[in-house]
Structure formats: structure tokens, C-alpha cells
Structure 1
């Protein structure tokens, strides 16, 4: 019931259309109830009294009723659909906006396929109920109650006798509702898993083909598909058992109605017109109850889908701008201080688990170039992720220009930090749009300037449509090195006071890497720069090199100072020198 009440709240902005739709529905129901009574008058007052005028009047009246009802049904259908579409629009917009605000902590565990399933199929199920099912259910109840009232007014004895089997039909509906709800819950969950498998396979199709695992992935998808099929067939079996039984009880109601009505007519306790009207009214009892099974299906789909949507909407946003004195990010110049910073993931216990970072204390002045080295898993990328508040520190403070990063307005803070991530992602758009992603108002000259600094301008000019070339989903039209250089140009164009290069040249050859670093010398002037790299050629121009191991700073100094010390830096230097000598 709580889910249903919460869903109804999304109808508030469209309340005017809800009222219009309800009013038209009640009008249509009333006209449906009046029509059999008018038919009764045709037989009793017209045919029975041999009065052609009355026959003509009531026949024309029936025609007018149908015209008015048809017109009302058109506007009611439009109003219903508008309400449903408004609910879908609001839910999708709210869910998408919320997904944009959720931190990396959420996406570390969330499955893309599940989110896609909730954004599409689950919300569509909600729309079907809000936009059609709920109103149809309400109309069925109104028709059922109204029909009984009219029938009781005409002949109450026949009405009561004919409804003897109604409790059996209601009991069948009750049992069906109890069973079909869990079935739809299983279907929504299986659909999410199926979508996840499909999304992962399509996204990783190159890896699948590279390792010749097509058959394995086909088997995995078929397994999910089989589970989805079986779950749907379990639900279909419930319907196959329930719906014929409901139809049978409905048929019994009709036959009983005919028998008792005919008996009372024969005894002179009921007119022929009333008999004809009762045959019409019978369907006002049978079809709402029979249709209720289908409407319960729609309702249960929505009631099982909605919690999956609300689960996302109810996920707390753990990283946002503080509600206190928000600091202006425009004052950021690039002085960075790590003050006893430790970081644990959300599922780690700080009292027992070793943190990704432990007790990091580091001061970086504006314009300084800091290289961060370390083995895989040493915490290099996590250290940088804290700068932009992709995660918040677990202990200590991270200051920029003496102000805690949590006190800056979040969007403004991130606009002041240009990042070239280790895993390059480009959008299915033109090269121009990808480079100008952070600065969409950038001129062509500015875009080309950034591209030249990233050593990608010459290549872009060779493309079929230059900067207007569409590079395909995730940038598949470019090589790994080319994607990295486009991402580098994207960060340079933002002109941020803090620049982060996370393995930004790992996919390019050494000659291109050297050319990029030559161009970056000008870009990095006056700009605080963090360089995460494995190649020592990428960090030789750094003012200071930080070596991380186990989440702690184990070495710190210039290239020359660290070379003279025993440790990770000298070992890495010797390894790369030996490799280049081969």
C-alpha cells in the first residue's frame, strides 16, 4: 500500500487531467447504465403499448448516448495517457538526475544492465498502471456497483438470486492476486539480470571475440534467457488456471440471470423490457470482474517494478556540496594539502581493514608538478580521486588553497580540476564535441589549440570530416593512443588550475609521448599538475616524485634524489633501462 500511495503522488502535477479523466469516466459509466433502462422503455412503453413515437424517441436517445459516450471516451483516453506519460517523464527525469548525483561508491557495485532495466522496463510498467490500469480498475468497480444499484431498482429479487456465484468469482480473484504478485517480482528481477548480461556482452564484444569466447557468452545469455522464459511461463500458468475459472463463474452468473429473469417474466413478476435490460446489465457485472484479473496483472507489475525504481531514488547521495558556508571555487589557485589523509572503501571497516590510503601528508604549491609512482594497487588513482571528491576522505583533511574540498561547491570544484583518466571514455559524437565536452562554448581556434597540445590535431585533419567526424560508441573509431590524446585535449581545453594526468600517455608510443610532454611544458606553467605514470620518461620533468606503497608515502624527492636511494624508484629505473637496452 505504501508503494501505491507513493506512486499516486506522482499524479499530483497532472491532477487537473486526473479529474477530467475521472469525470469523463464516470459520465461514460452513467451513460452505460442508463442505456439498458432506455431499452427497457422501448420494450415496455413502446412495443408493449404499440407506441411508435416512444420507440423512436428512446431509440434516438440511445444513438445520442453512444455519440456522447464515444466523444467522452476519446478525451478520457487522451487525458489518461497524458497522466501516464507525465508520471513516466517525472520518474525518468528524477531517476536520471539522481543517478548523476550518486558518487563513485554507488557505481562501484551497481550493474549497468540493472539500471537500464529499471529506467526502461520497470518505469514502463508503472506507466501502464498509472496511465491505464488504475483508471480501468476504478471504472470497473464503478460499473459493477452502479449496475447492481440499477438492477436492484428494477427487480431486486432477481438481482440477489443471480449474484449467488459472485463470491466464488471474487475468491478466485483474491487467490490469483496473492500468487501473481511474487511471480511478477521474479520476472522483473530476471529481466534485470538478462539486460545486464546483454549489456556486458555488447560492451565487451571485442574482448569476447579476441578470446574466442562467443560460444561461452551465448551459453551464458541462453541460460539467462531460459530463466526469464521459465519465470514468464510460471506466471502464464497462473493466468491459464485463473482466467478460465473466472470466465466460467462469469458464465454461470449470466446463465443464472437468464434463468431467473425468464422465470419471473413467466410468472408475471417481471416485464419483458426488464428482462432485456437485465441481459445488458449482466455484462456490467461480468466484464468488470473478468477484466479485474487482467487489471490485477497490470497492478502487480507496477507494484513489483516501482520498488526497484524507488530503491535507486532512495539511495542517499553521500557526496554533495555542504549546506553550510559554500566556498567560491573561482578562487582556487592550486595549492593542495593532504593532511593526515586516510581512505577506506564503504564496505571496509577502518578499525580492522587496511585502508587504500593511510596517513598521507603532502603539501603541493601552486604550479608544482608532482609525479606519483607506485605498484598496482598502491593507491595512486585513489589519491587523485579524492581531489575531485569522487570519494571523500575517511580520516584527515584534503585542502585546496587552505579550504577543505568538502566546503567547495561540488560542480565548481570539479570544473577547476582537469582529469585525463586512466580508462579513457569518449562519447558517440564528433571529435569536436568530445574535445569541447567540458567547455561546449569553445571556439574552433580554442579546440584546435588544445588538440595541438595533445598532439592529435594533425591526425584529426586526416579524418574524412575533420573535427566533425563521428568516432562511434566509446570512441571505437580511434586507437587507444588516439583516444587518450583526445581525452588529453578535452582536459587541456578546460584551462583548469589543477591538472591530473592518470596514465595519460600510457597508450602512445615513446616518440609521441615525448612530443606531448614537450607541448605540456607550456600548458603546465603556473598550473598544479599531478602525473600518475609507470614510465619514468613521463615523470622526469616533475618537480617532485612521490612513491606510494601499501597506501603510504615511502619515498619523496626529485628524480636525482630518489635515484640515489635504494627503493622502488631505483628498481623501476633499472628495470626500464634494462628493457630499453634489449
Structure 2
């Protein structure tokens, strides 16, 4: 399995152009009807492009010498009619190509988005939000050029190239052979500049992702920046990244600026050869003027696919870089995998058993220097009762809650829900039966109601107001002009810390899960609000299995059992009174808070 951190930070991507086209066109082939229409239209366009020079040749070599005005008008009419028909066909080709392109890109973007959401906690801890946003937006959009009308025309142009090349050999093999000399020059130039442009755009894409990360970090931490007056530091940091991106793009533009004129020169060289030899053959009566004019047009038709490919090299190299960055994600496999014979979460009657669990974060995914490893942790969370976890920061309390929700997999031991091992449970069923209120408050950008019903979107208004009342947030909501429909802003910026915490508690209550985990859930509340919530929740939690983590030990006096952790180990278990009498670790923690 690909290492996540290395995968998403990699600058080198071993992907080929052929792999990229197969990947993109696998989506296009799902819409065969539209593709067939485009191919048929393209055949007609190619045929008309071949016929138009013949009409011109006929006018110059036959109509003008005869001086027949009616024949001339008829020929001009055919020419104009062909041009109009060519324009109509190009319109339909572009329109239907857009339908096919947008459909394929929509599927690519949603597939990648769904795949990212399916990855586990490890991936998101080692990835940067700004970089993922660039992959989902800019990188996917870059692939769209592969399904554009220009790209399909270029594919059709390759077939035109073969047909026209045979035709000009039949008309005059000497000129055809002379023009052929220019083709190896074009491919030589292409090979020289291909890797240069590719590397330049790869670096530009990486620096763009770094800029996005910096912008995302700045905008989400604006309060901290303002508080510490670090605007200049952030400005300088962003300016450095923007300068790096600018230099990378300039380097790419420099190579492109050299590449395009060289290709144009070779094209002019081919035209000059035809003019030189064509004039010689016309003077010697071996070629007619109209034939030479048509021949120049056909040589242009030969050069067009090569010129188009050369001009698209810029976009192709950007697409290849983007494809590589997308496949980096798609090659990853989630560490948390569901069992093939997974069962639904049981109707709890016994509770949760933590059985000799050991766990350690690897170095890549450590969340902080205080993250604890767990060593043979065992305790029960009895059905319908409140179990409290206490201990110093970094003792492993939050880690246990993540293991229960299977955000990580235990490395030894087991977690059982009514004797069903956690790895045998359907992951979605497991998480639907667990409500977590974390010390880290997560709000979606929407209304208060949007945030409360997030886990249960079909909840009635009565249910929403009921949990709001239990969370002691209902009176505050009623004072707002728009009530439940009040917009809270990104990350709930319009609410205080305590208000956000109470909204998150209401959200967890509405989920109505069998297990409730409160991880410092009342940390942001004042004493009065905390007492109100504790009173409301004491009734609710009587019917649920609950695990409560609290630094304020006064909030867990009434817990049915208190488990004391120290350095990833269970050192004490019992009720508040029992542990106070033991005068051990819990008593020291408790007394320290009230000294």
C-alpha cells in the first residue's frame, strides 16, 4: 500500500500519456451515443476540409481559363455552401463535445471526492486541505482539455494526415518527400522541450498547492493572526510562496516561448519548400497554378495536426501533471477496512468491553508530542450507565474514544459491543450508533438548524426544539431575529464558544445513538450553563451507555464508574467515593483542582 504522507507530498509522478488518456476516456466511453455522433460529425468535417481545396483548384485551373461566369458563380456558391455546412458541423461538434466533456469531468470530480471521503483518519492527518482542494478543482479541470473539441479534432486530424499525405505523394512525390524532411525536426523539438515543460508545470502545480494551503491556513486562523499582529509575517510567507509559483510559471512560459516559434519556423520551412519546388514545376509546365495552391493548402492540413499537437503540448503537460496528482490519491488504500461478512450493530444489553487493548500512533500520524500509546487497557462501559475517563493530558483518553469509533484500528486486544468484536461490525452501522461531542467543535457553514440536524436531516421541528432545550440553547435561539434559520457563518464564527458547544450537544442528542461519548463536552461552558446541561443530560443518559471525559472532575461525581488513566495504562477504577477513599491518583487529581 502506498505511504500516505509520501504519496500526497510527492513531486515525482511516474505516469504516462497513454495511461492518462485511458483513464479519462474510460469515462467518455460510458456515453457512447454522444461519442458516435461526434465521430460521425468529425468525419464529415474532415471530408469537407479535403474537398474545399479541390474547389479552389478547379476555379483557378478550369473556371478562370474558360471565362465562364455562370460556372464561376456556381463554383463560388458550392464553396460558400461548403463553408456554411462546415461551420454548422463545427458548432454541433463543439456543442456535443462539451456535453460529453462536462459529463466526464463531473464523474471524475465526484468519483475523486467520494474516494477521498472514503479514506481514513490517517490520510487526513497527513494531508493539507489546500492541496486537496487544488486536486479536486484545478487538477480535475486540467483533464477536461483531453475531452475538448480541439482534442477530438486533433485525433481526427491524425487520420486526415495519413489520407492527405498519401494524396500529395500521388500528386507530386518530389514535393511530398521534401516536405517530409520537416516532420522529424518537429518531433525532435517536441522531445527536447517535452520534459522541460512538464517539469516546469509540475513545480508550478506544487507551488500552487502550497499557496492554497497558506491561504486556507490564514483564513481559518485569522483571529489568531489579528490577536498576535502577525499580519506581516503571514504576508511575507505568502509572498515567498507566490514568488516561487511566479518563477515556476515564468520558467514554463520561457520554455513554451522558445518551443512555439521553433515549431512555427519548421512550418514556414515546409511552406517555403512547396513554394520553391511548386514554382519550379509550374514554370516547367509539370504543375498547374491551381494544383500548387491546393498543394499548399494540403501541406497546411498536414502541418495542422502537428502544429495543434505542439500548441496543445502546454495543456497536455499540465494535464499529465494533474493526472499524476490525482492518481496519487486513487492509489491509496484506507487502513480501516470493513470485514467481508460485517454484521449490523447489535441492540445493546451488556455494553462495551475494552479488552486488553494496546495501540500506538506511528511517527507519521502522531497528532502531537503528547499522544499516548495504550498498554493493555481493560475496562467495561456498562449498558445504560455512565463511565468516566480521567487522567493527565496525553494519558490516552481521547485515543480510546477514537478506537471505539474505529477511526483507528487497535493493534492488539479487542473492543466488543455485546460480545461482537469491533472489526466484525459494519463501519457505518457502528458509527451511526455512537454520538460524539468533542472538545474540538465542528460547525458547518449554514443555519443553527442545519448544524443541529446534521446527523438526522429528516428530524421534525419539534424534535429540533426538544434537543435545543435539553442543550440549554433554546432560549438563546428564540432571541435571534431568524431563530433556527440564523446563519452562523463559516466554522460557526458568529457564535460564542459556549453557544457552539451547546449546538454540538443538541446535534449529538438528536442523533439518538445507543452510545454517547462526551469528550470535554462542557469545556467551553460557564458554570450556570454547565449545570443546566448536566441536569438535562443526567435524565437522557440513564437510557444510554455513555463514556464521559472531563478535566473538571466536579462534573463526574455521579458517574457509575470512573476509570483513571496514566501513561496509557488503567491505574484505578471505581466510583468517586471509592477512589477518594483509596487516596490514589484520582484523589490527587481531584484535590489538585480544589486547592
Same-fold call, TM cutoff 0.5? yes
C-alpha deviation, 1:70, in angstroms: 1.2
CA drift of 1:37 comes to 1.1
Q: Which residue of 2 aligns with 1:14?
A: 31
8 Å contact kept, 1:136–1:295: no
Task: Tell me if 1:70 matches 2:87.
Answer: yes
Cα offset, 1:348, TM superposition: 7.5
Q: Which residue of 2 aligns with 1:338?
A: 354
How far residue 280 of structure 1 moved from its aligned partner, in angstroms, is 2.3
Question: Counterparts of 2:317 and 2:350 in 1: how far apart (Å)?
Answer: 55
Using the TM superposition, give the Cα deviation of residue 288 of structure 1 relative to its aligned residue in structure 2, in angstroms.
Answer: 2.8
TM-score normalised according to structure 2 size = 0.93
Contact 1:372 1:530 in 2 (8 A): yes
Q: 1:193 to 1:132 in 2, by over 3 A?
A: farther
1:258 CA drift (Å): 1.4
Q: What CA distance in whole angstroms lies between the structure 1 residues aligned with 2:591 and 2:346?
A: 43
* Aligned CA-pair RMSD: 2.0
CA apart distance, 1:127: 1.0
Q: CA deviation at 1:572?
A: 2.1
* Candidates 218, 237, 251, aligned match of 2:268: 251
What is the CA–CA distance in structure 2 between the aligned matches of 1:472 and 1:440, rounded to whole Å? 19
String of CA shifts for 1:307-354, please: whole Å, max 9, x gaps.
Answer: 211221221122243111x322252456100111111224489xxxx9
Could you say what secondary structure the match of 1:331 adopts?
Answer: coil
CA distance in 2, matches of 1:470, 1:523: 28
Contact 1:111–1:196 (8 Å) recurs in 2: yes
Deviates most, 5-14 or 535-544: 5-14
Q: Tell me the CA shift for residue 369 of structure 1.
A: 0.3
Tell me if 1:329 matches 2:337: no
Give ranges in structure 1 of 5+ residues lacking alignment.
none
The Cα shift of 1:132 comes to 4.3
The alpha carbon displacement at 1:64 in A equals: 2.0
TM (normalized to structure 1)? 0.95
Q: Distance in 2 between matches of 1:320 and 1:267?
A: 79
- Partner SS state of residue 288, structure 1: helix
Any conservation in 2 of the 1:330–1:412 contact (CA below 8 Å)? no
The 1:348/1:194 distance shift into structure 2, 3 A limit, reads closer
* 1:375-524 equivalences in 2 (<5 Å): 375-524=392-541
1:278 paired to 2:263: no
Match of 1:157? 174
Q: 2: CA distance between counterparts of 1:88 and 1:291?
A: 23
The residue number in structure 2 matching 1:137 is: 154
Residue-by-residue CA offset, 1:512-538 (whole Å, 9 max, x unaligned): 111110111111012111111100122
- The structure 1 residue matched to 2:164, chosen from 140, 147, 171, is 147
Partners of 1:333 and 1:296 in 2: CA distance: 65
Q: 1:531 to 1:563 in 2, by over 3 A?
A: same
**Does structure 2 retain, via aligned residues, the 8 Å contact 1:428–1:473?**
yes
Say if 2:381 and 2:546, in contact at 8 Å, map to a contact too: no
Other structure's SS at 1:337 match: strand
How far apart, CA to CA, are the structure 1 residues paired with 2:381 and 2:224?
40
Matches of 1:514 and 1:192, distance apart in 2? 46
Report how far residue 355 of structure 1 moved. Answer: 6.3
Deviation (angstroms), 1:151: 2.2
CA distance in 2, matches of 1:333, 1:312: 41
Tell me the CA shift for residue 434 of structure 1: 0.7
Alpha-carbon shift at residue 133 of structure 1 (Å) = 5.2
SS in 1 for 2:582: coil
For structure 2, the residue ranges without an aligned partner over 5 or more in a row are 1-17, 366-370
| Equivalent-residue separation in structure 2 for 1:345 and 1:139 (angstroms) | 54
1:225-280 deviation per Cα after TM superposition (whole angstroms, max 9, x unaligned): 01100000110010111111111121121122112111111110001210221232
Q: What does residue 51 of structure 2 align with?
A: 34
C-alpha contact 2:434 2:516 (8 A) present in aligned 1: yes
Query: SS at 1:317's partner residue?
Result: coil
Answer whether contact 1:503 1:531 (CA < 8 A) is retained: yes
Note if 1:526 corresponds to 2:543.
yes
In 1: Cα distance, 2:174 partner to 2:350 partner = 89
Asked if 1 retains the 8 angstrom alpha-carbon contact of 2:346 and 2:418, the reply is no
Taking the aligned partners of 2:167 and 2:40, their CA distance within structure 1 comes to 20
Which of the numbers 354, 361, 366 marks the counterpart of 2:378? Answer: 361
SS in structure 2 at match of 1:426: coil
- The 8 Å contact of residues 134 and 299 in structure 1, kept in 2 or not, is answered as no
TM-superposed deviation, 1:162: 3.7
1:336, 1:400 within 8 Å by CA — same for their partners in 2? Answer: yes
Q: Secondary structure at the match of 1:304?
A: helix
Paired residues for 1:98-113 under 5 Å: 98-113=115-130
Matched, 1:173 2:185: no
